[in-house]
Structure 1
Amino acid sequence: MNPPIELSSTFVGSGDIATSPYAYGRFDTPAWGPFEAALGKLEHAALPGLVYGSGLAAIASTLSLVPRGGTLFMPRHSYQGSLQSAGEIAERCGFDLVTVDIADTEAVIDALDALEANRSVADEDPTADDNRGVASAMLWIESPTNPMLEVADMPRLIAAARDRGILTAVDNTFATPLLQTPLDLGADVVVHSVTKYLAGHSDVVLGAALTSSDDLHVRLHADRSMRGAIAGPFEVWLALRGLRTLSVRMERAQDNAAQIADRLSSHPNVVETRYPGLPGDAGHDRAAGQMSGFGAIIVFCVETAQQATAIAEAVRLWTPATSLGGVESLIERRRRHASEPTSVPEGLLRLSVGIEHADDLWNDLDAAIRAAHVA
């Protein structure tokens, strides 16, 4: 029932590396195959996925597809690690980083059109630098975003980017392939922090990238191999084991999240609750139209950073920690990270709802909120 854990880094063979099934563990190994195949099928990719040593390694590899002189469009409320990494890579590799409000479809399309206009000017100028007006650009999509839970109009944005010859990459960590499959909408690359929902037990650090393009797959594979962004055999085996329970874990966590979000939305000491499953949420209609569920991440705001910190310190069943997607419920004030965008409210708390009993979770959270308000 279980694939073996292949620990070999070296494989016997005297033939050409290009035609040998395996040559060296940095290029490929049977330790990765079952997980990469399974994730590829879940994401409806025409090719197996590529597993990486971390989610940020998969993100950096995907960003390597943006050429010098190109442009990367990224949501202003992307995962702060993605924004930080993109900024550093853009500066080092010589491409432009443009942040956009991914929930404002017209504004994003206007930004893409502005790039088209700049390309046209550069193409008409015979003295322009070779790197100006480069055809290749990338639109990065997070939906829902981390941590603001904004929902992008993915079908329209992906189509707009494709019409303009712009690559699209979608971070599907929050939704997982159970709730949306961006490749079916025409996205070029999908990335995951496997650490989160896919593995699901807070015991591995892994990432993945998937594409149905032979060319992009070759380029991503080459980047992973040459930069050594590879995963350990045991970690990938654990991720495959976790993947088997993704459906039941997500079903329970999502049901819990719906109940807790509904209760938070009417709590007298909560300023705002964001969850796409709430009928009054700004992203509700869009999420209902393009997702098969609303996920298990909630954010809510209280009046001050001090209150938010007090809540995170007062809970007993929830765990104050920075990750998400495991079986246990986590809580975190996101602005405690210096790299978090300043547009994220100081009093915002992100909840990763786990699979404990919903009433137990609510009673613990409600008590902490009330105690922090009194204090």
Structure 2
Amino acid sequence: MKTSLALTLTALLASPAALAISPSEQARNLAKETIIVDGHIDVPYRLAEEWEDVTQATEKGDFDYPRAVAGGLNAPFMSIYIPASYETSGDSVLLANQLIDSVEAIVGRAPDKFSMAYTVADVEKAFADGKIALPMGMENGTPLKGSFDNLKHFYERGVRYITLAHSQANHISDSSYDLRRKWNGLSPFGKELVGEMNKLGVMVDISHVSDEAFYQAVELSRVPVIASHSSLRQFTPGFERNMNDEMIKALAKNGGVIMINFGSSFVSNMAQSWGKQRTEAMEAAGETNRDKFEALYRKKNPYPFATLEMVLDHIDHVRDLVGIDHIGIGSDYDGVGDSLPVHLKDVSTYPNLVQGLLDRGYSEADIRKILSGNFLRVWKEVEAYAANH
């Protein structure tokens, strides 16, 4: 009975009428006049699978130039995503370089709209010039292939953070999704890598890694680390991909920032449960075509989308636990498929988030910290450390 009621309410929330939200002039101005950094947007891999010109309005995806402008987005970190399978097959170095090329191509097609960003100063200059900066982060360190020369190569190409692992353990780190604990945290190379990233000026991203790897990375890093797109285990019990309270406290002690992921399964325990039930039903049916099965399953079992309010709950919890200085945004747009919350469906909707924060009593100064101030502080500290080492 409770589940049916919840799903009915979710369906109502997902209706066109529910999508009619009107941020105040204050919220829109705050989004427009503040640099908005999003720690993780999967545009490059999206375009590798099905190309569209994101310098113009696109029919698909969560990101394009007009929507980014409407949302006030100024510095979306372009994810150089390398699937976990590339650890043992495929040319991960080639793919990474191709995805970086695709980001450069966006800027090349529309230099009046976009610019590459390798430093905090680049982000600030792009903002002043009315352009969208495109910094880059590598999701999955597989292309390093155990080589610090490769680390330097990708730094020189513009990568400014590396998510140490993805959905499986690699030669650097264990993954939160991988039940095998190959290294019991970081590998010997991974432990050395943290120090080399510090010295070079590449942020250490602990999204996706196992708890053990997280604590080891925080202990070894001489500068703050980031979680580029993670949410809270407080609201999704047992989901190791999210961070628990003790990890958030350790991250804050390190000076780092957790950048909240918007994906419904990261935000809502109901969405988590739905996913588990779908997988169990698929296995029971002996179905191998996941997309086909999910389409039919959703007709009978509507997906319980998270809401803006649920995302705000995650932000509230971090603030109450460790303070305002350790919160950022890592939406995972273009990376979580059709699972985005009501009122946060694409990059045009950041003003909705700002309005929600205003409604909950956050000051404009605190909202600016969440939108970019906290993350840019970390990035500056990483730059300063590298300059002196």
Structure-1-length-normalised TM-score: 0.29
Greater share of residues in helix: 2
Structure-2-length-normalised TM-score: 0.28
- Greater RCO, CA 8 A, separation 6+: 2
